[in-house]
């Protein structure tokens, strides 16, 4: 029971970081990033290949690049940087000339292309089989199977959640955050006031990509494996559902959504009795998530914790 609790807390922390990151992009800045899962995958793969030994180890049953076996926390820091660096070329291509709806389609296509390439180029990241035997952080000094280590990992996850939330709150509650919301509501008006919309979007793309990559690094260090099947584009829809349910534009709403949808909603289905053919419950789970999104968009579009309305002094 204790191991289940620590696992649930780590997964919750990963989802909280991912939801706060996407909230900065989608909720605050208005960027519909349907390729969000790419950045989680980049963080996971980067942390994995930097912490793993060369691919000749363990009988050479895996093929992958690097294999530097770097000590913690370098793989996590490098993964965070990799997510931000990847966001720059993608953002420059997607955000400069495309409107929001076309941006969403382009990001979805990029997500599918990236997954297909990683799946079919085996020497790069071991292809469809993915990476396994990823060393846990500090495993060379501590017993990663002990209960004390599990709680240490929870503490590291909570620390990362706190750092991401501090950065996100500083952005949202600053004059820069007001500029982002102005861009989200009226792009032409923000541009008429002299705001560089491409720079604003690219900055949030980089910040969100870095945080997403950090969440991927935390997850791969905990579960010890990562494969293309774990970062298909529907996974992004779950994070979007969490933002919509919790409250778009509100960091607390993003946290609440992460606890209700990816953690609470999906975990609850594990306790349902097996009915019908195999795979029926997971399939119905996706149907339920779709209905949840539609229901909230129709009846409560601002979510459970709506974005706080800010009034200017002297405003009626």
In a domain, 281, yes or no: no
Residue 311 is predicted with a pLDDT of 61
121 domain residue, yes or no: yes
What is the pTM (predicted TM-score) of this model? Answer: 0.93
Q: Span 25-48, mean pLDDT?
A: 94
Phi-psi label, residue 146: left if phi above 0, alpha if psi -120 to 50, beta otherwise: beta
Give tens-digit pLDDT for 68-104: 999 999 999 999 999 999 999 999 989 887 877 888 8
Nearest of 226, 241, 249 to residue 291 by alpha carbon: 241
Q: What is the pLDDT of residues 112-144, one digit of tens each?
A: 999 999 999 888 999 999 999 999 999 888 888
Residue range 263-281, pLDDT digits in tens: 877 777 766 667 767 667 7
Range of the domain at 114: 2-231
The total number of structural domains in the chain stands at 1
Give the span between the Cα atoms of 197 and 183, in whole angstroms: 7
Dihedral sign (CA 126, 127, 133, 137): positive
SS3 107: helix
Residue 276 lies in a domain: no
pLDDT above 90 covers a percentage of the chain that reads 61
Kindly state whether residue 55 falls inside one of the protein's structural domains: yes
């Amino acid at each position: 029971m204790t191991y289940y609790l620590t696992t649930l807390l780590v997964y919750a922390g990963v989802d909280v970081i991912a939801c706060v990151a996407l909230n900065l992009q989608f909720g605050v800045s208005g960027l519909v990033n349907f390729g969000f899962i790419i950045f989680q995958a980049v963080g996971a793969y980067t942390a994995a290949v930097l912490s793993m030994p060369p691919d000749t180890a363990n009988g050479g049953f895996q093929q992958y690049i690097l294999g530097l076996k770097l000590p913690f926390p370098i793989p996590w820091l490098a993964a965070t940087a990799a997510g931000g660096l990847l966001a720059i070329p993608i953002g420059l291509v997607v955000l400069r000339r495309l409107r929001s709806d076309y941006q969403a389609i382009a990001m979805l296509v990029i997500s599918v292309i990236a997954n297909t390439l990683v799946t079919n180029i085996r020497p790069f990241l071991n292809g469809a089989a993915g990476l396994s035997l990823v060393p846990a952080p500090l495993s060379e000094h501590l017993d990663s199977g002990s209960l004390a280590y599990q709680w240490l990992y929870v503490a590291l996850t909570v620390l990362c959640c706190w750092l991401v939330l501090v950065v996100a709150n500083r952005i949202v509650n600053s004059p820069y955050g007001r500029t982002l919301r102005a861009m989200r509501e009226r792009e032409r008006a923000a541009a008429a006031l002299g705001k560089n919309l491409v720079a604003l979007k690219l900055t949030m793309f980089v910040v969100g990509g870095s945080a997403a990559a950090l969440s991927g690094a935390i997850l791969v260090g905990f579960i010890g494996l990562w494969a293309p099947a774990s970062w298909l584009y529907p996974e992004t829809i779950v994070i979007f559902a969490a933002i919509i349910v919790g409250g778009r534009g509100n960091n607390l709403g993003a946290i609440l959504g992460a606890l209700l949808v990816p953690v609470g909603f999906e975990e609850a289905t594990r306790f349902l009795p097996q009915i019908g053919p195999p795979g029926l419950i997971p399939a119905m789970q996706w149907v339920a998530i779709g209905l949840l999104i539609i229901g909230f968009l129709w009846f409560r579009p601002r979510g459970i914790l709506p974005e706080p309305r800010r009034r200017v002094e002297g405003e009626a």
